[in-house]
Structure 1
């Protein structure tokens, strides 16, 4: 997600500046002889989707949840 020079992310409810959102990543897995997952060999090889304007963001301060676009404001 790319913000304009004068934009920042802020919670519209409490003004918080720390958030949780879901990213999509790839991992290497260990599998057994049936192809069933055994364990993850690493946390992240690459990010295939960063949290964006259409994804849900949660404010860590107050718990407000909305699409990322709702958190964009100007400095």
Structure 2
């Protein structure tokens, strides 16, 4: 949010810009006990969509949703 707020005026002045926000694919199937995490990550998605809509022509805003990286810890947690 703060970064977007800081750079968007400069992007508008140039008529060009790219904003890429990271979130998580866990918002698609919310794991039990993770309501605060999923809410925060979905907020990033919604914020990015509104930013894309409100930004002027030539400025794009996208969100990436990386999946789970399987590590020993995440594997054990799934057992």
- Which range, TM-score by smaller chain? under 0.3
TM-score of the superposed pair, with normalisation by structure 2: 0.21
Where is the strand percentage greater, Structure 1 or Structure 2?
1
TM-score of the superposed pair, with normalisation by structure 1: 0.22
Where is the helix percentage greater, Structure 1 or Structure 2?
2
Report the structure number with the largest CA radius of gyration: 1
